Amino acid sequence: MIYTEKTKKAMKLCFEAHKDQKDKSGLPYVFHPFHLAEQMETEETTIVALLHDVAEDTDITLEDLAKEGFGDGVMQALKLLTHDKKVDYMDYVRAIQENPIAKAVKLADLRHNSDLSRLDVVDEKALARREAYLQAMAFLENV
């Protein structure tokens, strides 16, 4: 993990935003963004990894995050990573590929979300989700 004033702020925001959420196996959800952040190599990618699901999965908006002063690069990546369900999944992935920060975080996110050992039950829905993630990874790795 990269520890700077901004990454520490992002860690606290991430924890507060996700502290009461559980993942599909009942584990604290916050472990997921922290796992991604551990893999990042820059301050910006670390912040984005920590905050990548905040606007999508909590009551905190992108506008709220922008007020925290993380900078335009972070905010552009967070906007790209916040999937509007009205947008086709692969169109969403295609938009991410143009932004190196968003792309680095999304690839780590896809790898982690594709790990079926994280799940207590692997059903058809989990297998279908993994297949979509593998297709997205292949696209992002080959562009």
- How much is the average pLDDT of 18-36? 96
CB atoms within 10 A of CB 5: 9
Give the closest residue to 118 by CA, choosing from 28, 15, 18, 14: 28
Q: Catalytic positions, please?
A: 56-57
> What does the mean pLDDT of the chain come to?
96
pLDDT at 24: 87
3-state secondary structure 55-120: HHHCCCCHHHHHCCCCCHHHHHHHHHHCCCCCCCHHHHHHHHCCCHHHHHHHHHHHHHHCCHHHCC
Q: What is the enclosing helix (H) or strand (E) of 137?
A: helix 124-141
Q: What is the CATH number of domain 5-141?
A: 1.10.3210.10
pTM for this structure?
A: 0.96
What residue segments make up the domains of the chain, in order of their start?
5-141
pLDDT over 70 at 113, yes or no: yes
pLDDT over 70 at 37, yes or no: yes
